[in-house]
Amino acid sequence: MIEHVAEPGWVAVEEFLSAVVVHPDPAHQRALRSAVEAGMPPIEVAPNAGKLLRMLVQLSGARRILEIGTLAGFSTIWMAQGLPEDGRLVTCEYLPMHAHVARANVDAAGIGHKVEIRLGAALDSLPTLVDYVARHGAFDFVFIDADKENDSNYLDWAIRLGRPGTVIVMDNVIWDGAILEPERDMINAPGIVSALEMMGKDPRLDATAIQTVGAKGWDGFALARVL
């Protein structure tokens, strides 16, 4: 497993940007506190990345969002805030305790009516969403932030449950540079590399990837559009 180390300057800049530009609200801060209190790993997106997700939702005009990996609902809240009042977000979470904490956080944020949490392994939940899409329409926006071993499977489902124009964001695609040295983390890095290769080759997608630094160390995200 990779130990993600952040330089002090990266952390300080991220904190400056969060305070001066991003302005997380009390709902975001509650979600972060609840994750710590519940003993969850500190792996949620950074506040500036959360706000980027919200802005991408707004810029894309999304009305239906699929999230794979909920944790305490931090990113869920950011994205649901970007939806119109009648928009919907379906998020898949494996662990019951995480789902319970996330449910409390999205309800406290005042966006609980927009959010449905599906409990269980995402690869079991995703096939059930075929019927959901048939009833409500394809997902306009998909955020993938779960176990990296299945990134390619999640990406394939994102395409199948989306439509031409659907925006897909995949988190943690640099993994401290282990995408160039997968042997440094044979659990996660090969899955990330496979998903990136899929993004670059799959004729259903047009994609790019961005590397970032911050409190979570050296990482990044991929951004794709379904063709």
- Whichever domain contains 142, its CATH number is 3.40.50.150
Distance of alpha carbon 132 from alpha carbon 129, whole angstroms: 5
Question: Average pLDDT, whole number, for the chain?
Answer: 97
Q: Is residue 2 over pLDDT 90? A: no
Domains contained in the chain, number: 1
pLDDT per residue over 106-115, tens digit each? 999 999 999 9
- Confidence (pTM): 0.98
State residue 100's pLDDT score: 98
30 part of a folded domain: yes
Using pLDDT thresholds of 50, 70 and 90, give the confidence band for residue 131: very high
Closest-CA residue to 38 (of 122, 91, 100): 100
Using pLDDT thresholds of 50, 70 and 90, give the confidence band for residue 179: very high
**Average pLDDT of the residues in 131-158:** 98
Closest-CA residue to 106 (of 125, 89, 119, 126): 89
- Percent of the residues in the chain that have a pLDDT greater than 70, as a whole number: 100
1 part of a folded domain: no
Q: Which domain holds residue 211?
A: 8-226
Distance of alpha carbon 86 from alpha carbon 198, whole angstroms: 33
2 part of a folded domain: no
Q: Is residue 1 over pLDDT 90? A: no
3 part of a folded domain: no
69 part of a folded domain: yes
**Average pLDDT of the residues in 123-143:** 98
